[in-house]
Amino acid sequence: MDILKKIENFREEEERLKWEGTFADYLDLLREKPYVAQTAHSRVYHMIKDAGVEEENGGKKYSFFSDQIYGLEESIEKLVEEYFHSAAKRLDVRKRILLLMGPVSGGKSTLVTMLKRGLEQYSRSDQGAVYAIKGCPMHEDPLHLIPQHLRGDFFEEYGVKIEGNLSPLNMMRLEQEYGGRIEDVMVERIFFSEDKRTGIGTFSPSDPKSQDIADLTGSIDFSTIAEYGSESDPRAYRFDGELNKANRGMMEFQEMLKCDEKFLWHLLSLTQEGNFKAGRFALISADELIVAHTNESEYKSFISNKKNEALHSRIIVMKIPYNLKVSEEERIYKKMIQDSDLSHVHIAPHALKVAAIFTILTRLKDPKKQGVDLVKKMRLYDGESVEGFNSQDLEELKAEHPDEGMSGIDPRYVINRISSAIIRKQLTSINALDVLRSIKEGLNQHASISQEDRERYMDFIAVARKEYDKIAKKEVQKAFVYSYDESAKTLMDNYLDNVEAYCNKNKLRDPLTGEEMTPDEKLMRSIEEQIGISENAKKAFREEILIRISAYARKGKKFDYNSHERLREAIQKKLFADLKDIVKITTSVKTPDESQLKKVNEVIARLIDEHGYNSTSANELLRYVGSLLNR
């Protein structure tokens, strides 16, 4: 389907979704669909919930955020459950400004943008439909037409609570245009749009001397004073401030704490009472979610000022720290690269992972727990299994530093360094070493990094390099294994036969000679030692393997190479250890003979076909690993 056809379909859909009727028609609609009368906070919560919720590792993962925000599941769960869910239930938390606090490039703006774009789409759905008094510049809730003394009766009949009073403009229109007949007032369906300033507003501070409070609350239209005769006539007022236009939806207050105090005073009444003062009118009701964002230093400065106590009590702060998982950081880089003009450049496997390892290390705090270093902590955070540690240890590590993730290197810096390496060297292929080299060069030019931090970060680059060395060796050794899976399966079957005989105190029968043999202790230990199983722990490990085999057999499942993660790792390492000398010789010979050349070409082909390298990065990897093995 071409783009013009899609535009036409969109236009037709817009027409189909439009609805217009009297207030009486709207009440019929409300009886059928009571959810159309939900509050702004409730609408945001249901928008997030309707997108899908998954239970994961004892927590909740919200599909609404999963395509754009990575590694912040715990922060987002807290935000949704403690703020949006509570606010949707009309608890007192909805009378608070939501302040997202976190470091630069941590995802605050992305999160707010997602809420805005999401509301635009959700208002076009049946569940998220929004109805307003037709012709009202503030898209006022039609239920404000119900007089105060009848709202109790209305709740009994419809089960819907009404909050807020009719605005001065609509009060005048009710009398003058409709003769006081509430049932005849026209109602229309509206669609949120930031561009059209419907239900979504954005306020950004500028010079306090030039910025006018009218930006928030609207202003008098002096050209109409002669026509209407008074500044207190609502027809002479432009209800076009951000608070007016964001009614029924949400307003983003960018860098709120940089604002002049007088701009923040209006938020006191709006948050607590749901109304604000504009012009020479009574208080104007507004139902909107106010989201602001700031960094930690500005927030600390704000709360230290006693004059801000009233507003501070009306703010709920949600920390949005940096992601602390290597795998999720890698996803962030991939997305940023896909969204840029660098998507044509070949980035070798593990290049972004190594950059992510460095970045995460800069964000982690030194663990207090005995036996844990930063690398082990990093692996535990990323969901990897680390011998001797469990989920309880992970929770204890997370509780050690509540402010973890609020400092360190941001994702934009890494992407900037990758871009710099590509553009400066005119590369079409970039590997892990290129990335680390560029990050290191950038640290020397980074003005905001202290000398102490720079030295720490240099150490982390060295750690990331060591991690890459392990990955690179493993990748090449794996590619060198001919019929890798078959070799691994044979070795494992041999190991399991010996383990079974050992645990059952039986003998093995030699398949060639038929003679009985004792279990091959040397073979079993050569495999177990690869994953650090000590002499004292070998019996327990072997018995655990046998129990696992029995459990699989009872369920009618076959125990295979992938059934036990640690055993699989041990088998891999044993195969690699046996191949080390072959790899070493083949990659280091300057003029390889025909058989060696054939082997190298096979390995390069396997790296390209199965591991995602191109010919340049595969050759670079082989040369690098050859140099590592010959040291």
Query: Per the domain annotation, does 609 fall within a domain?
Result: no
Look at residue 222 and give its three-state secondary structure. helix
Angle made by CA atoms 417, 421, 426, in degrees to the nearest 5: 150
Query: Per the domain annotation, does 83 fall within a domain?
Result: yes
What pLDDT sits at residue 150? 94
Query: Per the domain annotation, does 602 fall within a domain?
Result: no
Residues 106 and 192 in one domain: yes
Query: Per the domain annotation, does 192 fall within a domain?
Result: yes
Residues 205 and 132 in one domain: yes
Number of domains in the chain: 3
544-586 pLDDT, tens per residue?
Answer: 999 988 888 888 888 887 788 888 888 888 887 776 777 776 6
Query: Per the domain annotation, does 94 fall within a domain?
Result: yes
Percent of the chain whose predicted confidence (pLDDT) is above 90: 36
Q: State which of 544, 569, 594 marks the end of a domain.
A: 569
Residues 312 and 242 in one domain: yes
Residues 498 and 547 in one domain: yes
Query: Per the domain annotation, does 578 fall within a domain?
Result: no
What pLDDT sits at residue 56? 76
Contact of 464 with 620, CB cutoff 8 Å: no
Query: Per the domain annotation, does 159 fall within a domain?
Result: yes
Residues 283 and 340 in one domain: no
What pLDDT sits at residue 313? 82
Residues 302 and 376 in one domain: no
Q: State which of 277, 295, 319 marks the end of a domain.
A: 319
CATH number at residue 190: 3.40.50.300
309-330 pLDDT, tens per residue?
Answer: 878 888 899 999 999 999 999 9
Query: Per the domain annotation, does 631 fall within a domain?
Result: no
**C-alpha torsion angle, residues 432, 436, 438, 443 (rounded to 10):** 160
Least confident of 212-216, 316-320, 360-364, 379-383: 212-216
Contact of 31 with 103, CB cutoff 8 Å: no
Q: How far apart are CA 83 and CA 86, in angstroms?
A: 5
Angle made by CA atoms 113, 114, 119, in degrees to the nearest 5: 100
Span 322-349, average pLDDT: 88
Residues 455 and 522 in one domain: no
Domain extent at residue 560 = 490-569
Residues 7 and 77 in one domain: yes
Q: How far apart are CA 4 and CA 591, in angstroms?
A: 60
Residues 18 and 65 in one domain: yes
What pLDDT sits at residue 311? 80
Residues 282 and 218 in one domain: yes
Contact of 622 with 348, CB cutoff 8 Å: no
Q: State which of 569, 589, 607 marks the end of a domain.
A: 569
End-to-end CA, the chain:
59
Residues 307 and 334 in one domain: no
Contact of 281 with 231, CB cutoff 8 Å: no
Residues 78 and 179 in one domain: yes
Bigger pLDDT: 354 vs 57 = 354
Residue 30 has pLDDT above 90, yes or no: yes
